[in-house]
Amino acid sequence: MKRNKIIQQRVIEFDAVESTNEKAKEMLDENIDEGSVIVAKRQVAGRGRFGRKWHSPPGGLYLSIVLKPLKKNVHLISLLSGLPVVATLREWGVEATLKWPNDLMIEGKKVGGILCEGVHHRNEFYVIVGIGINTSTDLRRFPDDVRLEATSLKREVKKDIDKNDFLSKLLDDYDSFYRRYVACEFVSLIQEYKDRCTTLGKHLTVETARGRVVGMAKDISSQGALLIEETDGKGVEVFEGSPLDAAVIFIVWL
Ligand code: BT5
């Protein structure tokens, strides 16, 4: 029996936008459904978390998925949205990992990022899941500091990437993931996240709104917090800003 998909109800494509997340928010006025996808060939004001810039030249894949989840557990969408992207990258023969909370990494270099935002619109609550992947991006277009830390799928697999094929597989994988999320399969999803997360077991310094935490990343809690054991042995839970609560946090690797 063919099952109905939640994601990919409608894919709306643009040549250039400021940011697909912003475009998705604007299009809520046009009553776009859950599962609609906004895609752009390039973004002129692509955004990362905490107001950082996401370099978005032609050649990369930039999309936003519109979700209408229940608010309970919604912060886990942001953390876990890297899982379907890892699954898609695997189809292209690449074993990507996740740097907490949701950077997509290939051998220590960033190939993609995720920006989830919660939006209240006409008494409804939506989550916009923005995903940027350097599919065939020419890394020479990045400033030096970003280029040194980044990679592209094309560079890793040494062949051109068909962006439409990649997008179609990604939306299938996202649909499978989101069904599991809706079915509350959090225990297995968080376990899969942990299996892919290279942050665990590392010494790090985390700047949080409540001050600096220094220690060893030990675990991810059932609520998606990074559990850090400080040098004095004390355990601290650090939450990434969820779509409902934009906590300030960034990680500095030692
Ligand atoms: C992210 O932020 O990694 C989230 C990026 C989300 C981008 C998507 S594209 C579609 C949708 N529309 C948007 O406007 N955004 C979303 P963060 O963890 O804050 O990482 C940002 C940092 O990554 C920057 O400060 C740079 O150091 C680095 N960076 C910027 N552009 C990059 C790129 N194309 N590839 C690799 N690293 C990049």
Q: Is the pLDDT of residue 2 over 70?
A: no
CA of 4 to the centre of ligand 1 (A): 31
Query: Of the candidates 5, 41, 36, 3, which has an alpha carbon nearest to the alpha carbon of residue 172?
Result: 5
- Asked whether residue 1 is assigned to any structural domain, the reply reads no
* Residue 95, token pair as written in the block: 């074993």
Q: Is the pLDDT of residue 1 over 60?
A: no
Q: Looking at the structure, tell me whether residues 49 and 155 fall in a common domain.
A: yes
- Looking at 148, 167, 196, the residue that finishes a domain is 196
Q: Is the pLDDT of residue 217 over 80?
A: yes
- Asked whether residue 118 is assigned to any structural domain, the reply reads yes
CA of 98 to the centre of ligand 1 (A): 14
- 17 by DSSP, 3-state: which? strand
Pocket test for ligand 1, best of 20, 54, 127 (most atoms within 8 A of CB): 54
Supply the CATH number for residue 222's domain. Answer: 2.30.30.100
Query: Of the candidates 236, 214, 210, which has an alpha carbon nearest to the alpha carbon of residue 225?
Result: 236
- Asked whether residue 60 is assigned to any structural domain, the reply reads yes
Residue linked to tokens 């939006």: 119
Q: For residue 240, which phi and psi values (nearest 5 degrees)?
A: -75, 150
Residue type, 35: G
Q: Looking at the structure, tell me whether residues 219 and 149 fall in a common domain.
A: no
The whole domain housing 119 covers 10-196
Q: Would you say the pTM of this structure is higher than 0.85?
A: yes
User: Which residues does a 6 A CB cutoff place in the pocket of ligand 1?
Assistant: 19-21, 43, 46-50, 52-55, 62-64, 103, 110, 113-115, 130-132, 134, 146, 150
Supply the CATH number for residue 47's domain. Answer: 3.30.930.10
* Residue 51, token pair as written in the block: 């107001």
CA angle, 181 as apex, 177 and 182 as ends, to 5°? 120
**Closest-lying ligand 1 atom to the alpha carbon of residue 60:** 34
Residue type, 124: E
- Asked whether residue 5 is assigned to any structural domain, the reply reads no
Q: Looking at the structure, tell me whether residues 175 and 105 fall in a common domain.
A: yes
Determine the Cα–Cα distance for residues 102 and 81; give it in Å rounded to an integer.
7
Split into its structural domains, the chain has a count of 2
Q: Looking at the structure, tell me whether residues 180 and 216 fall in a common domain.
A: no
Q: Looking at the structure, tell me whether residues 56 and 160 fall in a common domain.
A: yes
Q: Looking at the structure, tell me whether residues 45 and 97 fall in a common domain.
A: yes
pLDDT digits (tens, 9 = 90+) for 12-54: 999 999 999 999 999 999 989 899 999 999 999 999 988 899 9
Q: Looking at the structure, tell me whether residues 40 and 164 fall in a common domain.
A: yes
Q: Looking at the structure, tell me whether residues 119 and 240 fall in a common domain.
A: no
Average pLDDT of the chain is: 89
Q: Where are the alpha helices (DSSP H) in 81-225?
A: 82-91, 144-149, 153-157, 163-182, 186-196
CA of 234 to the centre of ligand 1 (A): 33
pLDDT band at residue 246 using 50, 70 and 90 as cut-offs: very low
**Closest-lying ligand 1 atom to the alpha carbon of residue 145:** 27
Q: Looking at the structure, tell me whether residues 22 and 100 fall in a common domain.
A: yes
* Residue 243, token pair as written in the block: 């779509």
pLDDT band at residue 139 using 50, 70 and 90 as cut-offs: very high
CA of 53 to the centre of ligand 1 (A): 6
